[in-house]
Structure 1
Amino acid sequence: MSTTEVLADDDLTFDPVKNAFPVVTYCVDPDWMPYEAIRNNQHVGMSSDYMTYIGVLAEVDFQLIKTKTWSQSLEKLKSGECQVASMLNRSPERERYLRFTQPFFVGPNVLVSNNAQPFFQGYENIGEQVLGAVAKYRQAEYVSNYYPHINLKLVENELAGLRLLAEGDIDLFVGSLLSVNSLIQKNGFSNLRVAGLAEPQDLLSMAVTNDDIALLDKLNIAISELPEWVHADIYKQWNNVRVIEEMNLRYFWIASGIFLCVVLVGIWRQMIVSRYNQKLMVKNNQLEALQQELMENNRRLEFMSVRDPLTNMYNRHLLQDRAEQEKQVSQRKNLTVCLLIIDIDFFKAVNDRFGHSTGDTVLVELAKQICCTIREMDVAARWGGEEFVILCPKTTLCEAIYLAKRLKKQISQHDFTGVGQMTCSYGVAEYLAPESFVDWFNRTDKALYTAKNAGRDCIHAAGLDSVTKDASQVNND
């Protein structure tokens, strides 16, 4: 059965007699709308719709194991009672007992504050303020690992964190933009607003227990076969849900009670109800305008979260996420993957002699030279300053060295505006399982500094004794 045949049919159910799909148990976060939740003992939200399609494509019968908290869901995944997690982020802690599929939904995380706070550019400027985060969520683990100086207060769920923020018990709260947006509208937190982007963004995947590699492969294939219209329909359906309708239902009963009083006390009470309903309509219009504003912020922040603002290349956070994915593929399928670090030679002299504006122009032109030379499957990012990193999936060390030679030749022949010709140094390293990304990067960085110490304008690969200085042999190697 092809993907087109399955997803072209409006009826996604199957005959249990003719199609006995194997049963797979799964757990969800019971309180994370609009992504997923358990309401009236039923799985609802975006992940519920995704699993309907993925279950058909992977030919499995997903059965929900009900839980009351996300912590309880994680415990059932650790014990094996749940075979699959429906929608979650990858993290070092979770990778100890779960294997992750490729991501199928990307969403930004944001910092939320009261209206008196300024706009924040990430975690660096939080200082001594108290930051709220949900316990057992990836953001809490990320802040603890990489920003241990931040005063972190853990809460049970996002609603509890937003309430503490609205009451002034904490200064900031970090959460997913879609779910935070939903809760702000539903609960009328008019004094709260999005105050900045929080790294890293959500790369939501399914996950299976470490031993179930066959199921992981089936789910990856099913996810890769999902057509674009499925993603679009699910996003539109759940992003456009007006959660403030629950508020409207409450006001409806209040209005009904007032109407009964109007019958008893006369025209004067009826005029009060009319004025009250008018105020409610104004409030709803204001909330809809806020939702549109948050949607625009979502699109803008999502782009900013993965791009370097000067060169428009990917940033280090995106490259590191992709490198972690390629590590998993490398270990599972026994494929090689390499890192290549490029550093401009004597770049400080350019800034000192010609000024930082000319230095920025050199960085932009170098980024263009890199992007037009690398292969389509490669991922290039500006790591910081004058340093660029290229991730080379399904690439041997020899192939990565050859790519470095092509880049060396291309860059050395380019006339940079206001400066002329320049050179770079290159470090190359192949991933050696089961090392961490930090260890892999450090080996590549050491190879780069070996190339610099050898006189710059050359290439050095980790594990090899030779240093390549001549790029003129690219076409003959």
Structure 2
Amino acid sequence: MKSIFFKLTIILLLINTLFANSRIRENNENVILQLQWKNQFQFAGYYIAKEKGFYKDYKINVTIKQREYGQNVVNEVLNKKAHFATGRSSLIIDRVDGKKVVLLASIFQSSPDILIALKNSNIKNLQDLKNKRVMITGNAKNDIVLKSMLFSKKIQDKDIIVQKHTFDLADLVYGNTDVMASYISNEPFILKNKYHLESKIFDPKDYGFDFYSDILFTHEDFVKKNPMLVKKFKQASLKGWEYAFENINETVNIIYEKYNTQNKSKKALLYEAKELKKLAFYNTKKLGEIKKEKVEKIYNFYKLMGEVNKEIDYDKFIFKSNALQLNSTQLQYLENKKRLKLCIDPNWLPFEKFDKNKKHVGLTKDYYDMFSKKLKIDIKPVYTNSWNQTLEFIKEKKCDILSLAMQTKKREEYLNFTSSYVTVPLVLATKINIPFVDNLMQIKNKKVGIVSGYAFEETLKNHYKDIEFVSIKNIKDGLKKVAEEKIFGVISSIADISFEIRNNYTNELKITAKLDEKLEMAIGLRKDEPILKDIFQKLLDNLNPKFITDIQNKYFSSQVEKYKDYTLFWQTTIFFLFIITIILYWSYKLKIEKTRNEEILKELKATQNELKIKNKRLKFLARVDKLTGVYNRTKLDEVLEKEINRSKRFKRDFSIMLIDIDDFKNINDTYGHLVGDKILIALADLLKIHTRNVDTVGRWGGEEFLIICPETDKLGAVKLAKYLQVKINEFTFEENLKITVSIGLSMFKEDTSDTILKKADIALYDVKENGKNSIEFMDDLPKD
């Protein structure tokens, strides 16, 4: 039984290695993709390519990084902190400035950048923007598409009041600006769904400015070193985008669960998806399309606006997936050469051979036909009658190329080599009655044939000194001698040996052992013309994965032999039946046990879920005021500390306001505490409705409320406080009561939580002392 098991293991091992090792080698690559903004549907295709395994299909491991505040995405690629990134059409300016960025694909054919105003404003057309306040980024490169639109209507910077962009739509809502640069996929939705306001949109593409946007790009050096990786990354990414747009609901769910750092609602993500899909296929059916003509058109806009003054080499700037990107020297060399001469092994199927009509056939024929087409040059095989003659011809420069050969020190004297592009294991073939061999040391003093001139001949002779190696003309000659028992066996690649056994020696010979050594074969190119090596290395780097797969299937997948050794067949069958019986018995027992375990796990999972829900609820209740439903003091303290730390680090403004209901004790005394509670609840709701999503509203205690307002200076805080006071005064509360409030304000100035609260508290006290129903702001604490 032990002997049978050993034989079976060897067979399975040989079959496995045929498929595993005869493939052209591809290593997993780790790359970083830098996004130009925070996670949202804008980058859906990349998330999908990762989540659905499209990158893994191409042997790529991808880390996706969202943009941090102050981060320059282009510099991340230029400084080689990221391999790929997404950017705007302003990459044209970067290229003109000498930055070696390369465009791979434009996900959006037209920019999502728009100018947005309130529909109920007095701005109806672009001419109405004159003398209006306009919030734009201030970065000429980023604003160019919007400025081009304005310029087309003769509106220049001097005609508008340019404001620094706060990226806070509330500034448009509360009148801090008249017009804001926005994304068509975001701000119109927020304006309608949060503020219940309609928008007036000025879209550059309506004025003829359909700039590319969200362009996938990389570094020119990275393209030169890794053209195949760049090509595969682009292909996998576009596959992700195709899936994302075809399965929007599923994609939204994935982003909502795993990539929702902005806490967007599903409704917002769906809106974004539908708008961006329109832009992705704007005037095209080809996803990711990037045309030289359109890039030139955008360049001309930049030139007109005075942003560029140098020309661009578009062949270097725009990545060509199917092009070799040969330089001028290489192209000139091929033009002068007119024809390349190829030397092959004349009798080495399935790799290569000259047939009876002296025509080149086999695996390398397919490769060199493709190479010839790519290079647009005739590659003509030179006839030889043996491998040794082939080597002589290449030494004598009768050939320019050696199709398939191992790199050795001796050959390096007269050849340059590319990287290996075909790797297959070496095996030993013997008569069919010879037992399987797991170590060549077991066949001491046996005669084993190797094709004369093969690179591994010397290696094997040095490694296995107790074996008598003899030279053979070719594999066919060697296997014939094995069949006639003139030699014990032949060593060569699994591909050519199994090919010959299948066609000529099915019942006589077999593969008896697999060696640790492998054939790693490259292209050899004449030493005196080194430019050839660069050209053919580019050809290999640019190989299409589908072409490689087709070659493998055509020449290798059919090579597994089916020997008619019926004794072994029956022994193997009995062995497997025995194993299957044991497996079925244990499967039955495991199934019963699994059912029991699944029931227990189901109960445990239900209990865990119940505990999670309760814990979540407890955590929520611990931070929420039970009566009003807004945050309690514990949560307010936490948010306040967080805002203080953020303001210290990023030098950003924030303000707070303490709101106290005037004469609340009288209301409780007159109408009872139940009415007082209803007024507190209604006031909390009013404060939540009329503040921003980023503001934190909480009950400070009793009838006092605290609002924390990020990115808000004194002017903004006073404006919001007055706005809230008006809304509260207009509202009719329980028992048809009208109430007023007093509000104390303060702004962060290197304060502690105690000092900023104390300033607001003193301001509130002053309001109470001076008649109530008013607002007071305190800049600094009074000196003792």
Q: TM-score range by the shorter chain?
A: 0.3 to 0.5
Superposition TM-score, scaled by structure 1 size: 0.46
Q: Give the number of the structure whose alpha-carbon radius of gyration is greater.
A: 2
